Structures are given as C-alpha cells and as structure tokens.
Structure 1
C-alpha cells in the first residue's frame, strides 16, 4: 500500500525506516527482525527511538515525555471514569449481580486487550497517535475515520459532563443558599453557570500544553469519585428497606431520615418487601442496554496513545501496565458503586443513582457533598477529554504544522463554544449522542484497534491464519455486532416511544 512521502517512508528491507513526526522532524531508527518477537517491546527498544550518540531520544511529539508512571495512571483512570458510574446500579438492577459481574469483567478484559492491540501496532511502526495509525493502515481514509470517531465520541462525552453541571450545580447552590426554587435568580440558571464553569475552570486547564500536568487535577477528580463510592457504601447501611420516600407535602421538611426509617411504624408490615431481595440473574426489556452502558464506561482509547507519548521513558510493557492498573481500579470502583447502590434501592433504583437518594431526603447533607464531588470530578475530566479531540483536529487539518499557541488556543475555544451551545440550546441531545455513542465507541474500542493491527503487522511475521490475527478479526466482528445491536436498540427506543435514561460514559 502506498503512502504519502511527507507522512512516512518505510523501507521494505526491514532494517531501517524514516519517519516524519508531528513537527516535521525526520528520524531514523534501526529495525532488527528479531525485535519483532520481543514480548516486551515489539519493535520498540527500552528508550523508544534511541539515538546513536547516547542522548535521550526525541519522542513523537513536540516535547519529551515527562509524566511519571503514577500520574499516567491518574490521567488514564480519569479518562476512563465518567458519568456512567451513576448508571451502573441501574444496570445491575436489570441484569442481576452475577450477570452484571460477568459482563463488567468481560468488557474490562476486552478493553485491556484492545489497548494491547493499539500499543503493539504503535510499537511496530513507531507511531503514537491514533489518527496516524489509521493513516498507516488505510491511508487518508483511515486517518480521517479515526479522527472523526474520536471527535464525535469525546464531544458527546464532554457534553454529557457539562449537562451534569447544568442540571446539578443550580440544585447545589440552591441548597447551600436556602434559595427559593421558584425565584428567577441568575445564579440558579444552569445556562449561565455552565458558561461560567467553562470559562473559569475548564478553559485554563485545557490551554495547558502538556497533558501530564493534568495528572494533579486527575488525582483530585478520582478522589472525588472515591468519596462518592464511600458515601454509596455508607448509605447502604443507613437506608433500610423498605424505605419511605420523601413527601413534598410534609410539614417537617428536615425530618430525620433515621427517625423516619427506624420508627416503629407497623403499617409497613403489610407492604410487599419482595423488592428488597437481591437477584443474581435478571432478564427484562432493559437488560439489553447494560452492554452499551458498560462499554461506554470503559472508553479511554483515544487518550491511551497521547498518555503513552508523554510517559517518562516509555515502553510498550510500561504503558500496558499503566492501562491494566487503571482499568482494574475503575473496574473495582464500578462494581462496588453498582453493588452497594443496587443493594440500597434494589429494583427501585433510578437510571441516575443520585436522583434516587433525593427521593428519600433531598436535603441530606452527605448526598449534597457527594453532588459537589461529582460536579468537581466531571468538571476536571473535561480538559482530559478535550486533549485527544484537539489532537485529532490537528492531525486531520494541520498534520505537518509545528506547535502554535494561537492554534492551540483557538481550537480549545471553538470546541468549548460548540459544546456549550449544544448543552444550552439543544432541546434533547440524548438521541443524537446515543447514535454517536453507538457508532464511535465500538469503532474506537473494538473495530479500529483490530483492523489497524491486522493491516500494520506484516504478513510475513504474522500471517492472516495466525492466532493473533484471527483473534483480532474476531474482535473486530464483535465490535460490528455491538454497533448493530446498539443502533437497533436506539431505533427501537425511538419507534416505540419509550425512554431510557441509562448511563453513558
């Protein structure tokens, strides 16, 4: 397959190649045949693109990788963690504990395998940009397809985060100020608040040149989600089933939850408390949505290669370890949040877990603090997700241009403006981003890593009938099936007029 000379020139003798990186610097590195079989590095050496003079190599970016292992774990973990954690208890209620655990484990393992394919493909050709892998595999169409999928997926994710800001921040301010919910106050207007948050917090972080610096905000964001998980576990032992829902007509607005639940009210004895029994396996009309919810909750693949680029002394083995640790930590948090949320409300749990707590006591101080923590987490996640979108746009529109602060800033401003307009003016974007999620997420997780691997790995090293390529082909087929299934659910949801509030990433 022929490629543009400006992008790369790979010599077929397997001994050396020239590459032009993002800033137009040509580099050459030896490729020995026996390196391909190196289980730890593929075609990478310990110091990716080593130089002959012994100096620290120039990485495939406009700066040297400076991010530590721990910060890289924070960054990738924060990229995985999203608003989808709020919907996992609802997913468990519609699958049962054991079926949910099986599906969660399967999706986490598949995500790790997908990252393995990306890293191996990256190591073979010395490319650390998702879009450039697409170019190496399929030329300009592959590059554009990857760039568009990344852009759509992450714009959808950022919009979902800012929707949480728009809907939850006014409630938090209202609770703190004891404001009249019917008052027409500008600081209770979600549209104004989302613009203020975008301009004062998100934009300055998004203007940073290096993703690695956001490791500090990533760590704080993850700590907020740990607080959310801790509160969910604590509330399981405070809220007893069957529970009484908060009544808006009650004269005692701040009535203690414990008094309400623990009072000797024998009228509850006749209630059917069958919903207080956990189910191991459940199949109903909502079960089919669980796989999309779980898959979207593990979308982090556009961020893998940028984080790999900025990792200090990067190797494929080291980055795979970063990925595995991040996925395992998120896997554990996801399961615990889903389990204790489900065991608190059972089949009464709502698609967004925090709303369910509000049915018990909307003035609960702990849950109010949790809302603040979740708002903080999603706000600090937006800059992390914006980085690969900006990189994708630069790869598609300015592939040979050197770094420019002006272009760097303008792209961030335009992206945040578009996302804010979507959040403010779109009457209902759930269907739009449902389509985006059902198409771009399977491409980024399943289809692209597999087909890129199949195309990039030389057939003389791994023929098409080899086990790794057969597995990759099956992985791509799984992604296609997932895409068709997700689109079918959404179209059926539209045609039947039913509504699903399930989670997303």
Structure 2
C-alpha cells in the first residue's frame, strides 16, 4: 500500500493535473477504436505510446525554452498558431456537442421535435448560459473539481466498453451469415492515416502556461510533475478506450464517433453521452484562455515583449493581469460566439478543421517547441541526447505537417476518376437488398468530429478520396466514416 501511495503526486498538484489532463482529452477519444482497427492492437498501442513520448518531450523542451525566450518573431508565430488552432478547436467543440445534446433533448424531453430542429436553440442557450460564463474565468484552477468529474466520465466510458464486450447488444453482434472478423494485431497500412490522429490527440502545449498560472506554488519542478502525470493518465485512457472499443465493436462497422455505436434511448448510454458533452463544455475555458491572451497581444499590444521577465513561466504566474475588463469581456464574447456561429452555419467544416489541424496543430505540438529549443538553448546547457531528440521531433513534425497538409489538399481536389459517385453500395451476404451510404456527407462529419482536440481537444484526420471498392479493384474495407 505504501508503494502505491508513493506513486501519487503531491495533493497540491491534483488540480493542475486534472486541468491539463482534461485539456488533452477530447473528442479524439471517440476515434481511438477506429484507429486501433486501422493499425491493429499491437501497432496501434505502439503509435499511442510513441505519441505519448513525443508530446511529453515536446512539453519538456518548451519548459527549457521558457527560461530564455523572448523573441518577437517567435512570439508572433506562436500567437498565430494558437489563435488558428484554438478557434478551430472551439468550432469543433460546438459541432460535437451539437451532435449529442439536441438528440438527447429530442429523445427525453421533446419527442415531438427532431434533433435538427432543436440544434440552433439548444446550442444558443448553451453558449449564452454555460459556455460564455465559464470562459470568463481568469483563473482556470477553479475548474479542477469539475475537470475531475469529467475524467470520471471517461472511466465510465471504459466500463461501458467492457460491459459491451461481456454482454453485446443486437446492434453490436455480427449479422447472421456474415464472415467472422478476427482481431488484427499489426497492420502498417493504417500508419499514415492514423499518425496525425494519435499525434494531435496528445497536444496540450497551448494549455501548459494556463495551468502553470493556477498552481499554488508555480515552479518548473512542479510543472514537470503535472505534465508527467497528465500525459501518462491521458495515454492510459486513450489506449484503454482504443483497445476495449475495438474489441467490443470489431464485428460491426466501427464509427468514427464511437458514441454512435451505442444505442439511443438507453438510460446508461445516454447519461454517458451527456457526461461526454459536459467534459467538452468544461474544456472551453482552458481553450479560450490562451486564445484570448494571444488575440490581446496580437491586436492591442503587438509591440509588447514576449514576456515581462526572462522566464516565461514566471511571467505566466499572474493570470492575464494586463487585459482590461471591457476588452476581456469583448475578446471572450468574440471567440465563443464566432465559434458558435461557424459551427451552426457550416456544420461540414471538415476541410477547414483538417487543414488547421495539419498546419497550426502540428506546428504547436512539435515544430515550434523543438525549433525554439534548438535555437535558444545552448548545447552546453543540456545533454546532447536531448538535442538529438529535439532534432528528431522537429523532423517528424515537418514531415507530418507537409504530408498531412498535402493529403488534405488532395482530398479537397482529387484527381479525376471514372464515374465517382457520392454513395457506395455495400452488399451484405444473405440480404437481397443493398445498403447505401452517403460517403461524402458522412466522411466530412466524421473528420469534423476528429480534427482537433480541446484540443482536441480535437485531432486532425486526413481524409482520402473514396470511390467504390469494385472500381478500385480492392475488397471492401472499413474507413473513417461517421454514420449519422
């Protein structure tokens, strides 16, 4: 028992760990089972652990660089990336919640109203009454109890998946006469498709300084402890959902939004969906916090120094003291309600979110922390191994950014192919009928729900042009398609 107690962090850091973990976790959790299907259990676990290691080292590099940073151009690059990524994250948050809460309200409170009809009023009330007041908080440490509850819902999510494995419902069972589906262990063909999802699922760099500002005794050692526990806790939750979700739904079409694999109208599963929405809502403040600060310095004080002290973390310890009340209110309102308007007006934001995630997301997660460390930190001040790791992260970040962006651009303007249609006919053995799926619409909605995390909570999904399997001369294979 004493050994287990020694593994726990200091009680004073619990709030920071809960806040940073909740900023890592997000709707990308729903994509993990599909990622494990694409790569297999063993290779999927390897990619998840690789992304964990890269994100952990990236945050450590950022802490090293914060001691000596202050470059004007570096400040501008970080601000632009933060604004682009986090505005896209807020749009994605609203889009995901808009897929859950209106359906919940339609099933339990307004059965005579469709979820589509309830989408605008429900989301407008939510933004005004809940999201906007939460986003006005100047110190996100006050959200730590609520973030702890949100993490509890993730634990319930894992329990629900284990229950689905032990007692599968009719929707989770393979159709009679369908070929058996064995679990895959290693499938490298899904590497390029899932690597951006795994990488951006752990992106939390934009929330590090906000969490640091809320620590009771801010210092580098304490923040390192918070980062270690937060990333490894997120890694455990991501991997558990990926493994159990893949096993539970391996005999059916695994949805890009795993919540759609659970039936509607069942109390336990509807509470689970509601809890997931709540966890996303509580991620708004820690997402708006750095976006608001970046907008303030970019628009109103563009010539301000990157930090008020030689140590950026010491400068971050005072939460946004330079933003006047009226400006603070206006910037917060602009971020929240512009994201709401975009999410309601353009529900199919796949291209925008995918492009944002593959550029600004990768830049914030890997390219900027590694390059800043290599430029600012002298070789004599750190171990050579750390610099080699920074070079590796920089190279991987550049490759991922270029490759993902190229695939996103290609998917929006694919090369001409013969008679490509918007639907795929999927014959099912023993069934004389044909099930038709609208690939263009469902693929876009799947990508928009996975693109960035709260990052994110919402990661970027790279989509590929889809045509009939028969036209391509290949056997049917599951893809990142979100059934709606």
Q: What is the TM-score of this pair, normalised by structure 1?
A: 0.73
Aligned to 1:444: 364
Contact 2:48–2:198 (CA under 8 A) maintained in structure 1? yes
On the 8 A contact 2:79/2:294 being kept in 1, the answer is yes
Query: Which of 345, 357, 366 does residue 249 from structure 2 map onto?
Result: 345
Work out the CA distance in 2 between the residues paired with 1:367 and 1:238. Answer: 14
1:383 aligned partner: 285
The equivalent residue for 2:140 is 211
1:85 equivalent in alignment to 2:23 = no
Question: What's the counterpart of residue 43 of structure 1?
Answer: none
Give the Cα–Cα distance (whole angstroms) in 1 for the partners of residues 374 and 51 of structure 2: 21
Q: Which moved more, 1:100-109 or 1:188-197?
A: 188-197
2:213 counterpart residue number: 309
Shift of 1:272: 3.2
Number of the residue aligned with 2:150: 221
Is the contact made by 1:143 and 1:396 (CA closer than 8 Å) also made in structure 2? no
Q: Distance in 1 between matches of 2:295 and 2:83?
A: 8
Give the superposed CA RMSD: 2.4
Q: Deviations over 1:349-368 (max 9, x none)?
A: 1111111223xxx3222211
**Does 2:378 align with 1:458?**
yes
The within-5 A match list for 1:275-424 is 275=181, 277-284=182-189, 287-346=191-250, 348-358=253-263, 362-399=264-301, 402-424=322-344
Q: Which moved more, 1:392-401 or 1:423-432?
A: 392-401
Residue 279 of structure 1: how far off its partner (Å)? 0.8
What CA distance in whole angstroms lies between the structure 1 residues aligned with 2:227 and 2:128? Answer: 31
Shift of 1:444: 0.8
For residues 110-149 of structure 1, the aligned pairs below 5 Å read 110-122=54-66, 124-125=67-68, 133=69, 136=70, 139-149=71-81
Deviation at 1:473, TM superposition (A): 2.2
Aligned to 2:476: none
Instruction: Report the 3-state secondary structure (helix = DSSP H, G, I; strand = E; otherwise coil) of the residue aligned with 2:387.
Output: helix
Distance in 2 between residues matched to 1:236 and 1:354, nearest whole Å: 15
Give the equivalent residue in structure 2 for 1:274.
180
Equivalence for 1:19: none
Distance 1:493 1:281 in 2: 26
Q: What secondary structure, in the 3-state scheme, does the structure 1 residue paired with 2:187 have?
A: coil
1:33-63 deviations in Å (ceiling 9; x for gaps) = xxxxxxxxxxxxxxxxxxxxxxxxxxxxxxx
Return the offset for 1:217.
2.2
The 3-state SS of whatever aligns with 1:189 is: helix
Cα distance in 2 between the residues matched to 1:294 and 1:98: 14
1:479 aligned partner: 397
Quick one: structure 1 residues 190 and 93, their matched pair in 2 at CA, closer, same or farther if it must change by over 3 Å?
same
Answer yes or no: is the 8 Å Cα contact 2:43–2:188 preserved in 1.
no
CA distance in 1, matches of 2:121, 2:113: 16
Larger Cα Rg: Structure 1 or Structure 2? 1
3-state DSSP of counterpart to 1:299: coil
- Structure 2: stretches of 5+ with no match in the other structure: 1-10, 305-320, 415-419, 421-439, 452-457, 459-484
Q: By how many angstroms is 1:489 displaced?
A: 2.2
The answer to which of 294-303 and 390-399 deviates more is 390-399
Instruction: Give the paired residue count.
Output: 394
Shift of 1:140: 2.7
Residue 348 of structure 1 aligns to a residue in which SS?
coil
Deviation at 1:394, TM superposition (A): 2.2
CA contact (8 A) 1:454 1:469 kept: yes
Q: Distance in 1 between matches of 2:379 and 2:52?
A: 29
Cα drift, residue 274 of structure 1: 1.8
Q: Deviations over 1:241-283 (max 9, x none)?
A: xx557xxxxxxxxxxxxxxx79xxxx93xx23422x2110124
2:406 counterpart (447, 472, 488): 488
Decide whether the 8 Å contact of 2:34 with 2:254 is kept in 1: yes
- Cα 1:199–1:89 change in 2 (3 A) is same
Give the Cα–Cα distance (whole angstroms) in 1 for the partners of residues 180 and 413 of structure 2: 33
Offset of residue 481 of structure 1: 0.5
Matched residues in 1 for 2:134 and 2:12: separation?
19
Work out whether residues 210 and 286 of structure 2, in 8 Å CA contact, stay in contact via their aligned partners in 1: no
| 1:420 to partner: Cα distance | 0.9
Q: What SS does the corresponding residue of 1:350 show, helix, strand or coil?
A: coil
Instruction: Give the Å deviation of 1:183.
Output: 9.1
**Residues 1:235 and 2:155 aligned together:** no
Aligned to 1:200: 129
> Cα offset for 1:203?
1.1
